Structure 1
Amino acid sequence: MVDVEQVTPPLAGHGEGPVWCPADRRLRWVDMLVGDILALDPATGVVARRHVAPVVAALRPRSAGGLVVAVERGFALLGDDSVELLPEVWSDPSIRMNDGACDPLGRFYCGSMAYDAAPGRASLHRLDADGAVETVLTGLTVSNGLAWTRQGDAAWYVDSATQRLDVFAFDLATGELRDRRPAVDVPPAVGTPDGLCLDSEGGAWVALWDGGALHRYAPDGRLTAVVELPVRRPTACAFGGPDHADLYVTSSRLGLPADDRSPAGALFRFRPEVPGFPAHPFAG
């Protein structure tokens, strides 16, 4: 039986995108639809909140210091007291960024979705260290979890509308995602796959929206662990702490009935048997 700890009160309306930032030993995540970044100091339990933009979808630490973030229709670079908004990637106000991660080469990817989740309107975009942006996948619906293996030779990916976890081969020489294949079919009865992260053995932990749980799938696709949570809509997960042994889970109150009395919007934490490893930083 895994002991799941509620780390914070229900601070976020739509908590998403957790990542451990080793430079200051903080766990950061977003309150996406109000455009805030939250930062937990695990040593004290104190959470700081920083407003960035109308929407903040995902973030990663930068190797030179600061953060790279995905805002509603593009990317931004953050310093301690500065926000540099980069040129918008698209102008359509009905589509927003949703979730992202960095590859082993230090490039930041973020996928989009239509606000009404209309099929086929989303894409996966990549921000390179020099500021160039490339669209690497199109025809998506709700681009969600993305994470590279520790060796860097493969990436797990979720387009939530497919009810699947897919795996890409990743060419470290060319930086290309290729040979996409289905790895796990998630039954709709157990929830919709959302954000994910990988542990040091290559196991994929995925948050199940409307499923109230995290599932772990082995590299061969076998379900090896189920961790139930006291909220209906967990959204994403990330390993944190100095040894990357704690798994943090964000959650959402979005769309829940007014009489819901769960701690939806809180941050949770538990310690799996297998630890994680550091997230790749942005090279720009």
Structure 2
Amino acid sequence: MAEAQQLTDPCAHHGEGPVWHRDWPGLRWVDMLAGDVLTLDEATGAVRRAHVGSVAAALRPRSVGGAVLALERGFALADDDLTEVRPLPEVWRDPAVRMNEGGCDPDGRFYCGSMSYRSDPGMGKLYRLDADGSVSVVLDAVTISNGLAWSPDGTTAYYVDTPTQCVDAFDYADGELRARRHVAHVAPEAGAPDGLTVDADGYLWVALWGGSGVHRYSPTGELVDRIEVPAPKVTACTFGGPDLTDLYITTSQVGTDLEAHPLAGAVFRVPRAGHGQPVLPYRG
């Protein structure tokens, strides 16, 4: 059982969605409810903020340069420095619902799922942004749409709707998710599944909201390891570094006693935790 090491100060109220991309200046993640994207200069430890909207739910690199973003009620395109943000048309108008978490498929489409601010059951959906800018609903009646990542061979997508306490798998082909089934179940006393990543060997790394840790599961759903994180609300994780061997972990201060947990909101790292896959870019 490894323990994550503190990498940054507690700089995010609701840190989420870490992304490592070789053409970016360092690790990026979001302070979601502040509407900011954060970039770490690991050499100096400095964290730079870029305000992109009222909510910054998720981001991924674009294959042509720059980034694709999920904002409060839709998507946006940005330049490499995140100084120029061009929102696309809003996907819905209901102010009670916001985007939450997403990722790209092996064919370059960007997905992000939604949830209501009050976590009302069935109020969310999983949306897909195609390369031509069109938006489709992939899953309906979701409560807290969370982690989404693909197997190394690109044929299986793994997905979390947090209140189910499960990681689900889908057969994936050409933008379609089919044959949904449970792969792993997180016992409630261990926390609730949040963001996830899949490593180069097909193992799943699942952040545990309220569980102060990250679980590692085999492709068949066997729990094989746990990483301890000194903050209770663990939100997401990704591999990064020059060789994609370091696991980066984001945390949140939401609903947390900061006197008891002063490191909540920091980013943590586990050096040489495994070997990750390169981030999948948006091809639009």
Q: What TM-score does the superposition give when structure 2 sets the normalisation length? A: 0.97
Report the alpha carbon displacement of residue 275 of structure 1 after superposing the two structures with TM: 0.7
The yes-or-no answer on 1:140 pairing with 2:142 is yes
**Contact 1:2 1:272 survives alignment (8 Å):** no
Structure 1 CA distance for aligned equivalents of residues 191 and 97 of structure 2: 24
Structure 2 CA distance for aligned equivalents of residues 159 and 272 of structure 1: 29
Q: Residue 22 of structure 1 corresponds to which residue in structure 2?
A: 22
Q: Which runs of 5+ in 2 are unaligned?
A: none
Q: Which runs of 5+ in 1 are unaligned?
A: none
The 10-residue stretch of structure 1 (259-268 or 215-224) with the greater mean CA deviation from structure 2:
259-268
Structure 1 CA distance for aligned equivalents of residues 126 and 4 of structure 2: 32
Q: Against the structure 1 CA distance between its residues 164 and 261, is the aligned structure 2 distance closer, same or farther, given a 3 Å change threshold? A: closer
Structure 1 CA distance for aligned equivalents of residues 136 and 86 of structure 2: 19
The yes-or-no answer on 1:194 pairing with 2:201 is no
Q: What TM-score does the superposition give when structure 1 sets the normalisation length? A: 0.97
User: Structure 1, residues 76-127: CA drift from partner, whole Å, max 9, x if none?
Assistant: 1011331101000000000000000000011100000000000011000011
Matched residues, number: 282
Q: Residue 269 of structure 1 corresponds to which residue in structure 2?
A: 269
* Equivalent of residue 91 in structure 1, options 93, 96, 99: 93
Structure 2 counterpart SS, 1:56? coil
Structure 2 counterpart SS, 1:167? strand
CA RMSD of aligned residues (A): 1.1
User: Structure 1, residues 181-202: CA drift from partner, whole Å, max 9, x if none?
Assistant: 1001111011000000011110
Report the alpha carbon displacement of residue 46 of structure 1 after superposing the two structures with TM: 2.1
Runs of 4+ in 1 over 4 A off after TM superposition: none
Structure 2 CA distance for aligned equivalents of residues 3 and 89 of structure 1: 40
Letter in 2 for 1:113: M
Q: Residue 216 of structure 1 corresponds to which residue in structure 2?
A: 216
**Contact 2:76 2:85 survives alignment (8 Å):** yes
Structure 2 CA distance for aligned equivalents of residues 3 and 210 of structure 1: 16
Q: Residues 1-284 of structure 1 correspond to what in structure 2 (within 5 A)?
A: 1-79=1-79, 80=81, 81-171=83-173, 174-257=174-257, 259-284=259-284
**Contact 2:108 2:281 survives alignment (8 Å):** yes
Structure 2 counterpart SS, 1:177? strand
Structure 2 CA distance for aligned equivalents of residues 271 and 281 of structure 1: 24
